[in-house]
Structure 1
Amino acid sequence: MKNVVLLPLCLVLLSSAIVGCGDAGVSLTQLNGKVLYRGKPLVGADVIFMPRETGGVSSGVTDSEGEFTLTYVDRRSGVLPGEHLLTITESNDHAGDEIVNETENVVLQKPVREYRKMMLVDASMEFVEIDVTGEFK
């Protein structure tokens, strides 16, 4: 279970190591967004845009309104234009209330849920709303 939670962080770190410091010249699109689940903001979810081709990862975390701002691997704001694998992960820290089994006096954490899809980021995009209802696994 912990491996699933650490996967997004590992992907960001790996991308940082591969890309290195030579990416300062790439042009980024300033993309913000909002994640909804069942019509409500998804709070505390990790949002990762991984380019299909080459380049660094951009990531963010949803706030209390479900909104996020993307930060590129070199800590600049934005995301590379082009096709990306979008991954939204809700960790145990933000998955809501714990499940309590009072009969056995055990407290279980809710499972990690994840949403993935390919997404084209156009250079003119400024905001994207993502509804993960029915597709969050």
Structure 2
Amino acid sequence: MSSVTQIIFIITSFIISISLLVGLILISISLFNIKSLLKKRNHLLEQTSRPYILCRKINSQQLEFRNAGNTPGKITKIDTDSNANFNNLIGTTIFSNQTYTFNINPTEKFEITVNYRDQINNYQSSFSNTL
């Protein structure tokens, strides 16, 4: 082999090696971008397809538990500092837009913390009528 052929062969090998290296770098960057986009998409899907169990006063004498989310939520625990008894809701599945209403003492101030879950995750929401 002549020296010119050897130089051309070395240059060609070098160009191929650089091209492969650049290709691997671009593929790695694309994979990291895809991974971050999938995480964002999954987070948005979780937010839109989860239960949101809310507690609110309808009027001065009634308290409502409502699932404002798109999927059912099962209540696992209710903590309150009031005399009202919400224990019959524990273990209850509240479907989307379903409500439970309770009579309360209009002069009593209290805080409620509701722990609930869907098929995958656990959630918590709090309510206070001390304002």
Place the TM-score, normalised by the shorter chain, in its bin: 0.3 to 0.5
With normalisation by structure 1, the TM-score equals 0.33
Higher strand share: 1
Higher helix share: 2
Between structure 1 and structure 2, the one with the greater Rg is 2
